[in-house]
Structure 1
Amino acid sequence: MVELLAPAGDFESLKAAILNGADAVYIGGKEFSARQYAGNFDREEIIESVRFCHAYGTKVYVTLNTLLKNNEIERALEYAAFLYQNGVDALIIQDIGLLKLLRENIKHFEIHASTQMTVHNLEGVNFLYSQGIKRVVLARELSLNEIEYICKNTEAEIETFIHGALCISFSGQCLFSSIIGGRSGNRGRCAQPCRMQYSLDDGYKKYILSPKDLWTLEHIEKLIRAGVKSLKIEGRMKRPEYVATVVRAYRRAIDGILTQEDKEDAIKIFNRGGFTTAYLFDENGPKMMSYENPKNWGVLLGKVIEKKGKFVQIKLEDELNLGDGLEIFGKGIGVPVNTIYDKDGREIQKAKKGDIVKIYFENAKVGDILYKTQDAELIKRARESFEGKETKKVPLIGRFNATKDGMELEVIGPKRIKISLDGVEIAKTKPTTKERIIEALSKTKDTPFFFKNIEVELEDNLMIPISKLNEIRRRAIEKLLDELQEKREDIKVNINFEKREKVKEPKIIVKTGRIDIAKEALKNGADMVFFGGDRLRINEGDIVDLLEYKDKVYPHFPEIIIEEFDYYKERAIKLKDLGFTKALCGNIGFYNTLLNLGYDVYLDKGFNILNSFCPDTFENEGVYLSQELNLLELKDLISKTNKDTIVFVYGRTRMMVSRHCPIGSEKGYSKLNCPKVCEDKIHYLKDRMGEKFLIATDLYCRSHIFNSKITIMLEHIKDLVSLNSSFWVMEFLDEDAKFSGEVVKAYKDALTRGHKGDFSLSNEAKKILEENKNKITKGHFYRGIL
């Protein structure tokens, strides 16, 4: 049986989801949620939500899907224990350190891997399943065939998104908001820079990174046949009317009764110029994007054909009702419709398509295109579905028995419970009737229940106060809710940090995909080179050409590995046979492959190592620490792990990686017909501040967007030395090979002297700083993230 999983940003949205047919809801607490700007639920509201949902047989999943710092990890674990104890059905997580602690402390809690874990291949799914993850939320970038292949070859449950906003980057691998504004998407605070305007290579400004919302209403049966267990609607930031409308449409699609009206309602409630099936059916070119407007378009209402004073005339392309909201397309200027006049000047309540009407819209002018961004009738219907008199309630059977010794109420519903109470009296005048008892017990009011039938057995001549009948009803429903909540045993969590010893002088690591840079780096003092990574079109050479350096040069396997998995596996086998013994790995699925081949594996930054428990989750030789940590946080993490640690000291931070190519798409091509317009060179996006973010494409038509600034830490060697890390890493992209060698030499010299207490800069270091003074950043070293 497939599950329809709905979002809930607050309790009203939760009710909207359940009463319109959701099988499960996912909610965020006010602690550690990846939607920190949603309403979210405090602890008491979470308990109330579990009780309400379980009354309807609906499951509750709580998102704890942010990366965690050392000073948060114990509180997060205690919070997870609270959720488990109070009946939450599953926990959705991102942090791999938290995964380790959950398995050690709350062994029976069902764990789901968030899409923030960037899992996109079968091997990644199966590895997480082996680590105790029951369900994996796949990356949104997969095709239907790729999803089906995973479903058919794993015991893990698979969850996929079916509707709502798309991230243009692989989730969990985006630092755009973090780097430019300090608001980390990995911490639930994304500022959505992808919804801003950019120009490509100084071209016209567009919303180049803004995709339409995902839509699969006509394809639900295909996803079910593929083996997907849970169909997930995105939208914890959306209003309850949106949740009600979209959940209803997908419930009807799953049940095989979807109508044209359902589809139209889903369009009207929110769209960005239509919808897209995105990667499910290879629609990842311009058809996927909303270049003209990144916000809700609504539906076309018509063009302003005349203006008199503050009023405009429109020939309607859609019906118009009082209370609708209108907006001038692309300008963000809107008005509510408070009055409508027909062509004869009569005030009317509504108008139909084809009518000419006059409305108040002071800021509109002749020729403006108006869209209806809020449909008052739709909003009204949506609200009635979860707060009207006819909302769905759970039927109960009641059996009431009263004697002079007391009364008992048995309730038969999702569970069976009994409540006894005294307070029965001998009637002095008028005995209590069966009808009066049924009337009192039936007043379930705001509870999720109603009595379908109440059987009453009553001795003669008894008087039962109404207050006692109300009390037994309240206690019965409260006990039923308690039973349905399914509270579990108390959990006491326990964590212990390691203590790190002083390391020797850190070693220099270089990451590159170019032979010329690798050789220059080795010549100038690099201790290790990890070669390869993403197969960028600008890269040159093969690691096999560096075989003579195999005691210092090792392969690097990237964060995203989809259709090329077999290629990389064969490559890893060949390189192991040639004598390469170590590897840097960014992909959770490929990690296990390398381990099984006998490599000493270093974890790359794709693993998002933000706390001291992450390094111990997997077997590894060392871990690349997150670039989102500041100096004090790095020092704290390093001091509490015995694993080798790698710290970023030079290079352009990759802001995002996408299966969508903005270069080809902006020129009208999709992946299926693009003549490789990227031309093996660096392109760039320019923002409103004039900053240029470099774009490099790879052989699989994925795009990699890099920071406009270069992180250079030569002035801060003293702070770097104080970290006590095992390695310093430098990443080179499009630099000149000679310059790359000079950078390595400058860092090597500064490191050697700094380790002896001399923090002065060499002339070479001063020259590098001077030549790059207008494009240097310190990244998060001194500011960090929220």
Structure 2
Amino acid sequence: MVELLAPVGSKDALIAAVESGANAVYLAGKMFGARAYAANFTQDELVEAIQFAHRRDVLVDVAVNTVVDNSEFEELAEYLRFLYHAGADAIIVQDLGVAKLAREIVPDLPLHASTQMTVHNIEGVRFLKELGFTRVVLSRELSIEDIQYICQNIDIEIEVFIHGALCICYSGQCLMSGMIGGRSGNRGRCAQPCRLPYTLVDGDGNNVLAGGEAGEYLLSPKDLNTIDLLPELIEAGVDSLKIEGRMKRPEYVAVVVDTYRRAVDSYLANKNDFVVDLVEKKELAQIFNRDFTEAYMKKRPGKFMMSDRRPNNRGVLAGRVEKYDAKTKLVTIKLAETLNQNDIVEFWVKVGGRVSATVTTMYVEGKEVTSALPNQKVSFAISSPVRDHDRAFKVFDAQLMERARSFFNQGAPLRRYAIDVKVTVSIGSPLKIEIVDEEGFFGNGETDFVAEKALKRPLTEETIKKQIDRMGTTVFALRKLTCNIIGEVMVPMSEINEARRKAVEELEKARMIKFVRPESVVENNNLIKNILRNKKRNHAIKPQLVVNVDTIEKVRVAIENGADIILFGGDNFQHSALKDSDYHKAYLLAKEYNKKIVFNTPQLLKQWQMKGFISLIESFKENLPDAIAVNNIGTLHMIKNHFNVPLQADYHMNVYNNLAIELLASRGVETVTLSPELNFSQIEQIADLAKCELECLVHGNLSLMVSEYCAMGSFLGNLDKGACSKPCLKESYFLSDRKDEKFPLVTDQYCRMHVLNGKELSMFPHVPRLSAIGIHRLRIEGKYMTPAKLAKITRLYREFIELGEEHPLFKEDKMDAIEKNITRGHYFRGVL
């Protein structure tokens, strides 16, 4: 049976999810969850939430899906032990270090891989299965064909998102929120920069979409809605259907879960006649939507996936303005949807933005009404003028909200388990109650009172039923009562009630046995003690200079100006695929100058791209590089199976702590590029403890986002009409934000769009410090640089490594002369 998994950010949302039909819920405590701004749960509330769900046979997955700093592991260890004892059914994890710790101290607590792990191919799933994960949440960029291939070729639970907000960037690959606002999505505090306005400009700063059909929210996607695709997803073999929305109110949870529950049940009951009711579709839109999309499930939708004119809820079209009376401030609209008293309507005004009104009194043909139907003309008061033909959207449906609230404000359960009850009583014996529920669990209870002969009113079946039927806030409902009353007996009602309570309590205990796990928690955690308390080294070294490039010309430039190591290939910012001959030339050039060369690999590799990539890496065997860099766990798994060569974990793998380094080292990784979200203090602590070589990014325009969506192709290249005209090859483009900061856009060989930081990372003055704390490699990101600029930057870093603070620019205090429009990244501020 496929699982319906619901989001829970509060107690009311939990009740709404369970009562509307979720098989499982996912939620978080006050720590380590990727939705830090949700209400979330205290530890006492978590215990209550888990017990509440388990009594109703609903599983609870707890999100522990942020990256974790070394200093947090002691607290995390206690939290994981708490979750195990509290009865959590699984934890959802992003950080490989968290996974390593969990396997050590709570080995029987199931691990689910968060979508933040960016698992987008079968190799990534295989890697996680080998680590002991029991479920993987796939990236939202996959097609149904991709999903089906993974489901049918590996024995592990697969979870996919089916409804809710989308990230424009691959989850787990976004550094934009942290870089521009200091609030890291990887740490659970995303500031949603994708929902802000941007202008697409050319190299001269001209708005290339001015006067066109595009809005200003160029990174804001519509909401995912797969209600019509449920049959295909279920038949593909998906184990869990996941609804996004831990930040959403409980009414949203109730409506969305209820709608999908009925749709799933309908399909499973009658696959040949599956149809989603139009009313249900409208309710999904009414409760919250930015318009809907199926994302990449069927195709690459381009601009049609984007909510570029409005980044928040747009409601449902209620109608258009027929007239506005300035004297009475009454607007008249011709309805496209039913409108009821207390609904809220928002007008999209051509000039001046939005006008909102709560409908307290409304009129049809001059008569006051409480409800109006489609095609009727209705009038009501609004606070500001609107114009003829302005659109009106119903953004709050009072009746729908009332129905939604009925799922969580009743006090007593809505969904109950049917029970059959047998009552046996005779003079001289206790009254006995036997309960069996619809799943076959038993509970028994009997009175302390010994039944006596009745003097006035003997016990009847009707009297017993009244007492047995009082199930109150329990999750049970009487289906069948069998009474075996021998003789005219008397038993006090209070005694019958107490016997019923005992039987129900025993039944509840029987039902909860399946959630009991062995006492396997490790209290003395040697992992933390051995790795995070014992310093390995703390001495200055002379770092090697690494330059990351994607053209042969830049390979030569980097070598001639002092690079020790060339990192070549992977994603090509020239929008063309590198051939095996390119790697061969880069290899020969490096070896000619006696330099090391590392072959890079793409940040992302979807299933259909695997065949070409495998063919490419097979060619590496002719000129085996000094190492191969990997950017995701799928590539790591695949390369390890093809080569006996040192591996490097690149910065897209979000390595944030020493436990993650330990795990990667056990899988053949010898060099780790640390997360650019770490600050100096964190890097220094990691360097003190790390057993492998460490690399830090020191210069370049870092990639902040990577997306299957391309703004240039979508709005300039006619991507929606078939083949893209590739405007990215004819002009340079940037996203300009509200502060006129410009973020360069580049496309790789797979037509993915990379959003780069407009400010160039520069650590010129801090090379001596990086050397002092023991960083082995300093890396320049040179793909976006011209060869001339790359030559200058490489030469300067070579000099700073050699001379340190003896460099003339240090001594003469002229560092400002070589640094313009730069950033120090997170080296000094870190991230929240």
Distance 1:265 1:172 in 2: 31
SS in 2 for 1:522: helix
SS in 2 for 1:172: coil
| Aligned residue among 799, 809, 817 for 1:770 | 817
| Aligned residue among 377, 384, 391 for 2:406 | 384
Q: Does the CA-based 8 Å contact 1:427-1:461 persist in structure 2?
A: yes
1:544 matches 2:584: yes
Q: Does the CA-based 8 Å contact 1:742-1:764 persist in structure 2?
A: no
Residue of structure 1 equivalent to 2:270: none
Residue of structure 2 equivalent to 1:748: 798
Distance 1:43 1:477 in 2: 27
1:654-710 Cα offsets, whole Å, 9 max, x none, are 110001101111226226321111116532100000000011001211000011111
Instruction: Please give the residue correspondences for 1:494-533 in structure 2 after superposition, counting only pairs within 5 Å.
Output: 494=525, 495-496=527-528, 497-498=530-531, 499-502=535-538, 504-533=541-570
Instruction: Please give the residue correspondences for 1:479-628 in structure 2 after superposition, counting only pairs within 5 Å.
Output: 479-485=506-512, 486-490=515-519, 491-493=521-523, 494=525, 495-496=527-528, 497-498=530-531, 499-502=535-538, 504-537=541-574, 542-548=582-588, 549-550=590-591, 551-562=595-606, 563-596=608-641, 597-618=643-664, 619=667, 620-628=669-677
1:66-87 Cα offsets, whole Å, 9 max, x none, are 1111122232233223222233
1:506-564 Cα offsets, whole Å, 9 max, x none, are 22222121323322222222221111121222679723222231451120012211232
Cα pair distance change 1:342/1:633, threshold 3 Å: same
Distance 1:452 1:51 in 2: 25
Distance 1:55 1:315 in 2: 49
1:351 matches 2:372: yes
Unaligned runs of 5+ in 1: none
Residue of structure 1 equivalent to 2:281: 263
Q: Does the CA-based 8 Å contact 1:68-1:610 persist in structure 2?
A: yes
1:99-144 Cα offsets, whole Å, 9 max, x none, are 1222222222221111110011111111211211121111111112
Cα pair distance change 1:430/1:749, threshold 3 Å: farther
Cα pair distance change 1:132/1:172, threshold 3 Å: same
Residue of structure 2 equivalent to 1:643: 692
Unaligned runs of 5+ in 2: 268-273
Cα pair distance change 1:408/1:251, threshold 3 Å: same
Cα pair distance change 1:422/1:639, threshold 3 Å: farther
Residue of structure 1 equivalent to 2:245: 235
Distance 1:576 1:474 in 2: 72
Cα pair distance change 1:87/1:412, threshold 3 Å: farther
Residue of structure 2 equivalent to 1:318: 337
Instruction: Report the alpha carbon displacement of residue 401 of structure 1 after superposing the two structures with TM.
Output: 5.2
1:336 matches 2:358: yes
- Number of residue pairs aligned between Structure 1 and Structure 2: 780
Cα pair distance change 1:734/1:763, threshold 3 Å: farther
Distance 1:502 1:707 in 2: 32
Instruction: Please give the residue correspondences for 1:414-493 in structure 2 after superposition, counting only pairs within 5 Å.
Output: 414=439, 415-419=441-445, 422=448, 433=459, 435-455=462-482, 469-485=496-512, 486-490=515-519, 491-493=521-523
- Cα RMSD between the aligned structures? 2.7
SS in 2 for 1:278: coil
Q: Does the CA-based 8 Å contact 1:684-1:693 persist in structure 2?
A: yes
1:282 matches 2:299: yes
Residue of structure 1 equivalent to 2:320: 303
Instruction: Report the alpha carbon displacement of residue 753 of structure 1 after superposing the two structures with TM.
Output: 3.4
1:6-34 Cα offsets, whole Å, 9 max, x none, are 22222322222233232222222222111
Residue of structure 2 equivalent to 1:73: 73
Instruction: Report the alpha carbon displacement of residue 41 of structure 1 after superposing the two structures with TM.
Output: 2.2
Residue of structure 2 equivalent to 1:218: 228
Q: Which amino acid aligns with 1:227?
A: G
Distance 2:731 2:94 in 1: 34
Distance 1:582 1:748 in 2: 22
Instruction: Report the alpha carbon displacement of residue 717 of structure 1 after superposing the two structures with TM.
Output: 3.2
Instruction: Report the alpha carbon displacement of residue 760 of structure 1 after superposing the two structures with TM.
Output: 5.5
Q: Which amino acid aligns with 1:501?
A: R
Q: Which amino acid aligns with 1:362?
A: S
Distance 1:629 1:761 in 2: 29
Instruction: Report the alpha carbon displacement of residue 247 of structure 1 after superposing the two structures with TM.
Output: 1.9
Instruction: Report the alpha carbon displacement of residue 398 of structure 1 after superposing the two structures with TM.
Output: 3.3
Distance 2:453 2:354 in 1: 70
TM-score of the superposed pair, with normalisation by structure 1: 0.93
Instruction: Report the alpha carbon displacement of residue 734 of structure 1 after superposing the two structures with TM.
Output: 2.3
Distance 2:719 2:421 in 1: 62
Distance 2:812 2:63 in 1: 46
Q: Does the CA-based 8 Å contact 2:562-2:794 persist in structure 1?
A: yes
Residue of structure 1 equivalent to 2:93: 93
Distance 1:423 1:175 in 2: 69
Residue of structure 1 equivalent to 2:778: 728
What percent identity do the matched residue pairs reach? 37
SS in 1 for 2:234: helix
Distance 1:615 1:607 in 2: 11
Residue of structure 1 equivalent to 2:134: 134
Distance 1:267 1:16 in 2: 18
Q: Does the CA-based 8 Å contact 1:85-1:489 persist in structure 2?
A: no
Cα pair distance change 1:398/1:641, threshold 3 Å: farther
Instruction: Please give the residue correspondences for 1:33-72 in structure 2 after superposition, counting only pairs within 5 Å.
Output: 33-72=33-72
Instruction: Report the alpha carbon displacement of residue 355 of structure 1 after superposing the two structures with TM.
Output: 1.6
Instruction: Report the alpha carbon displacement of residue 224 of structure 1 after superposing the two structures with TM.
Output: 1.7
Cα pair distance change 1:452/1:433, threshold 3 Å: same
Residue of structure 2 equivalent to 1:694: 744
Distance 1:323 1:40 in 2: 30
Distance 1:149 1:583 in 2: 27
Q: Does the CA-based 8 Å contact 2:597-2:626 persist in structure 1?
A: no
653-662 or 237-246, which deviates more: 237-246
Q: Which amino acid aligns with 1:117?
A: M
Distance 1:353 1:340 in 2: 14
Residue of structure 2 equivalent to 1:102: 102
SS in 2 for 1:159: strand
Q: Which amino acid aligns with 2:469?
A: S
Q: Does the CA-based 8 Å contact 2:420-2:436 persist in structure 1?
A: yes
Cα pair distance change 1:433/1:38, threshold 3 Å: farther
Distance 1:158 1:680 in 2: 41
Q: Which amino acid aligns with 2:392?
A: L
Instruction: Report the alpha carbon displacement of residue 407 of structure 1 after superposing the two structures with TM.
Output: 5.7
Distance 1:502 1:173 in 2: 31
Q: Does the CA-based 8 Å contact 1:717-1:759 persist in structure 2?
A: no
Instruction: Report the alpha carbon displacement of residue 271 of structure 1 after superposing the two structures with TM.
Output: 1.7
Q: Does the CA-based 8 Å contact 2:331-2:381 persist in structure 1?
A: yes
Distance 1:476 1:80 in 2: 34
Instruction: Please give the residue correspondences for 1:186-205 in structure 2 after superposition, counting only pairs within 5 Å.
Output: 186-201=186-201, 202-203=206-207, 204=210
Cα pair distance change 1:70/1:481, threshold 3 Å: farther
Cα pair distance change 1:743/1:424, threshold 3 Å: farther
Instruction: Report the alpha carbon displacement of residue 433 of structure 1 after superposing the two structures with TM.
Output: 3.5
678-687 or 422-431, which deviates more: 422-431
Cα pair distance change 1:454/1:656, threshold 3 Å: same
Distance 1:465 1:40 in 2: 46
